[in-house]
Amino acid sequence: MVSEPDQRVVARHKWLALCIGYWDEPYVSTTDGVIIVPVNEQGEVLFIVEPSVVDAHPVLSLPAGVIEESEPMAESANRELQEEAGYKAGRMEWLAAVDPLARHARWKMHLFLARDLTPARLPGDEQFEIRVERVPLAEFESLIDSGRLTYAPVIAALYMARRVILREAGQ
Protein backbone atom coordinates (compact mmCIF):
# COMPACT_ATOMS: atom_id res chain seq x y z
CA MET A 1 0.00 0.00 0.00
CA VAL A 2 1.25 3.47 -0.85
CA SER A 3 2.16 5.42 2.26
CA GLU A 4 2.54 9.17 2.20
CA PRO A 5 4.18 11.08 5.09
CA ASP A 6 1.22 13.47 5.35
CA GLN A 7 -1.39 10.75 4.82
CA ARG A 8 -4.02 10.59 7.55
CA VAL A 9 -5.55 7.13 7.65
CA VAL A 10 -9.21 7.08 8.68
CA ALA A 11 -9.79 3.33 8.23
CA ARG A 12 -7.65 0.42 7.09
CA HIS A 13 -8.34 -2.99 5.55
CA LYS A 14 -5.77 -5.62 4.58
CA TRP A 15 -5.28 -4.15 1.08
CA LEU A 16 -6.81 -0.68 1.18
CA ALA A 17 -7.13 2.39 3.38
CA LEU A 18 -9.45 5.39 3.48
CA CYS A 19 -7.30 8.47 3.91
CA ILE A 20 -7.64 12.24 4.14
CA GLY A 21 -5.75 14.15 1.46
CA TYR A 22 -5.59 17.70 0.13
CA TRP A 23 -8.33 20.10 1.23
CA ASP A 24 -9.41 17.48 3.80
CA GLU A 25 -10.93 15.40 0.99
CA PRO A 26 -11.12 11.60 1.38
CA TYR A 27 -9.29 9.24 -0.97
CA VAL A 28 -8.59 5.52 -1.15
CA SER A 29 -5.06 4.10 -1.09
CA THR A 30 -4.67 0.51 -2.27
CA THR A 31 -2.11 -2.16 -2.94
CA ASP A 32 -1.25 -2.39 -6.65
CA GLY A 33 -3.21 -5.07 -8.45
CA VAL A 34 -3.52 -7.10 -11.63
CA ILE A 35 -6.36 -7.77 -14.06
CA ILE A 36 -5.95 -10.69 -16.42
CA VAL A 37 -7.59 -11.23 -19.84
CA PRO A 38 -7.37 -15.01 -20.28
CA VAL A 39 -7.96 -15.99 -23.92
CA ASN A 40 -8.14 -19.68 -24.84
CA GLU A 41 -7.26 -21.40 -28.15
CA GLN A 42 -10.83 -20.87 -29.41
CA GLY A 43 -10.54 -17.09 -28.96
CA GLU A 44 -12.82 -17.05 -25.93
CA VAL A 45 -12.28 -14.84 -22.91
CA LEU A 46 -12.62 -16.65 -19.58
CA PHE A 47 -14.70 -14.20 -17.59
CA ILE A 48 -15.47 -14.82 -13.94
CA VAL A 49 -18.74 -14.24 -12.14
CA GLU A 50 -18.52 -13.52 -8.43
CA PRO A 51 -20.71 -11.74 -5.87
CA SER A 52 -20.35 -8.01 -5.27
CA VAL A 53 -19.09 -7.09 -1.80
CA VAL A 54 -21.66 -4.28 -1.81
CA ASP A 55 -24.84 -6.35 -2.08
CA ALA A 56 -23.85 -9.88 -3.23
CA HIS A 57 -25.36 -9.53 -6.72
CA PRO A 58 -23.37 -11.44 -9.38
CA VAL A 59 -20.73 -9.34 -11.17
CA LEU A 60 -19.14 -10.24 -14.51
CA SER A 61 -15.43 -9.48 -14.39
CA LEU A 62 -11.99 -10.88 -15.16
CA PRO A 63 -9.60 -12.64 -12.80
CA ALA A 64 -7.89 -9.98 -10.69
CA GLY A 65 -6.21 -9.39 -7.38
CA VAL A 66 -3.41 -7.77 -5.44
CA ILE A 67 0.28 -8.02 -6.15
CA GLU A 68 1.81 -9.72 -3.15
CA GLU A 69 4.89 -8.11 -1.64
CA SER A 70 8.10 -9.23 -3.41
CA GLU A 71 6.05 -11.17 -6.01
CA PRO A 72 6.70 -10.19 -9.65
CA MET A 73 3.60 -8.78 -11.36
CA ALA A 74 3.36 -11.56 -13.96
CA GLU A 75 3.56 -14.19 -11.20
CA SER A 76 0.79 -12.41 -9.30
CA ALA A 77 -1.30 -12.41 -12.47
CA ASN A 78 -0.73 -16.13 -13.07
CA ARG A 79 -1.48 -16.95 -9.42
CA GLU A 80 -4.76 -14.99 -9.50
CA LEU A 81 -5.70 -16.67 -12.80
CA GLN A 82 -5.22 -20.10 -11.20
CA GLU A 83 -7.08 -19.15 -8.01
CA GLU A 84 -10.07 -17.56 -9.70
CA ALA A 85 -10.44 -19.28 -13.09
CA GLY A 86 -8.58 -22.56 -12.60
CA TYR A 87 -6.11 -22.02 -15.46
CA LYS A 88 -2.40 -21.29 -15.77
CA ALA A 89 -0.99 -19.20 -18.62
CA GLY A 90 1.99 -20.36 -20.67
CA ARG A 91 2.29 -16.77 -21.94
CA MET A 92 1.54 -13.74 -19.77
CA GLU A 93 1.92 -10.38 -21.53
CA TRP A 94 1.79 -7.02 -19.73
CA LEU A 95 -0.54 -4.62 -21.57
CA ALA A 96 -0.61 -1.41 -19.52
CA ALA A 97 -1.15 0.13 -16.10
CA VAL A 98 -4.38 2.03 -15.46
CA ASP A 99 -5.63 4.17 -12.61
CA PRO A 100 -9.35 3.41 -12.11
CA LEU A 101 -10.04 6.44 -9.88
CA ALA A 102 -7.29 8.94 -10.70
CA ARG A 103 -8.80 11.85 -8.77
CA HIS A 104 -10.02 9.87 -5.78
CA ALA A 105 -7.51 7.08 -5.18
CA ARG A 106 -3.96 5.85 -5.30
CA TRP A 107 -4.80 2.67 -7.17
CA LYS A 108 -2.75 1.14 -9.97
CA MET A 109 -4.02 -1.90 -11.88
CA HIS A 110 -1.64 -3.74 -14.23
CA LEU A 111 -3.42 -5.33 -17.18
CA PHE A 112 -2.22 -8.65 -18.61
CA LEU A 113 -3.10 -10.84 -21.58
CA ALA A 114 -2.89 -14.55 -20.69
CA ARG A 115 -2.63 -17.21 -23.40
CA ASP A 116 -1.60 -20.86 -23.82
CA LEU A 117 -3.95 -21.76 -20.99
CA THR A 118 -3.83 -25.14 -19.23
CA PRO A 119 -6.06 -26.30 -16.37
CA ALA A 120 -4.40 -25.59 -13.01
CA ARG A 121 -6.23 -24.72 -9.81
CA LEU A 122 -4.75 -22.99 -6.77
CA PRO A 123 -6.80 -22.44 -3.62
CA GLY A 124 -8.05 -18.86 -3.39
CA ASP A 125 -8.94 -16.70 -0.42
CA GLU A 126 -12.58 -16.12 -1.42
CA GLN A 127 -15.33 -17.54 0.77
CA PHE A 128 -17.66 -17.96 -2.21
CA GLU A 129 -17.79 -19.84 -5.48
CA ILE A 130 -16.41 -18.16 -8.58
CA ARG A 131 -18.01 -19.25 -11.84
CA VAL A 132 -16.20 -19.10 -15.21
CA GLU A 133 -18.11 -17.88 -18.27
CA ARG A 134 -16.60 -18.16 -21.76
CA VAL A 135 -17.39 -15.41 -24.28
CA PRO A 136 -15.73 -14.93 -27.68
CA LEU A 137 -13.36 -11.97 -27.55
CA ALA A 138 -14.99 -10.67 -30.73
CA GLU A 139 -18.32 -10.41 -28.85
CA PHE A 140 -17.32 -8.74 -25.55
CA GLU A 141 -18.85 -5.41 -26.57
CA SER A 142 -22.30 -7.05 -26.46
CA LEU A 143 -21.72 -7.50 -22.72
CA ILE A 144 -21.16 -3.74 -22.38
CA ASP A 145 -24.24 -2.98 -24.51
CA SER A 146 -26.40 -5.29 -22.37
CA GLY A 147 -25.19 -3.69 -19.13
CA ARG A 148 -23.67 -6.94 -17.82
CA LEU A 149 -20.10 -5.60 -18.08
CA THR A 150 -19.57 -2.20 -16.45
CA TYR A 151 -16.15 -2.23 -14.75
CA ALA A 152 -14.06 0.28 -16.72
CA PRO A 153 -10.58 -1.25 -16.08
CA VAL A 154 -11.87 -4.64 -17.31
CA ILE A 155 -13.30 -2.99 -20.42
CA ALA A 156 -9.98 -1.21 -21.04
CA ALA A 157 -8.11 -4.51 -20.63
CA LEU A 158 -10.38 -6.22 -23.17
CA TYR A 159 -9.86 -3.50 -25.78
CA MET A 160 -6.09 -3.60 -25.27
CA ALA A 161 -5.97 -7.41 -25.46
CA ARG A 162 -8.04 -7.41 -28.65
CA ARG A 163 -5.70 -4.82 -30.19
CA VAL A 164 -2.64 -7.00 -29.46
CA ILE A 165 -4.30 -10.13 -30.87
CA LEU A 166 -5.48 -8.34 -34.03
CA ARG A 167 -2.01 -6.86 -34.61
CA GLU A 168 -0.45 -10.31 -34.34
CA ALA A 169 -2.98 -11.60 -36.87
CA GLY A 170 -1.99 -8.79 -39.24
CA GLN A 171 -5.32 -6.96 -38.98
Report domain extents, the chain: 1-30, 31-168
Taking only the tens place, the pLDDT of each residue in 94-122 is 999 999 988 888 889 999 999 999 999 99
145-149 mean pLDDT: 97
pLDDT tens-digit readout, 6-39: 569 989 988 888 888 888 888 889 899 999 999 9
CATH top-level class of 31-168: alpha beta
Give the integer Cα–Cα distance in Å for 55 and 38: 27
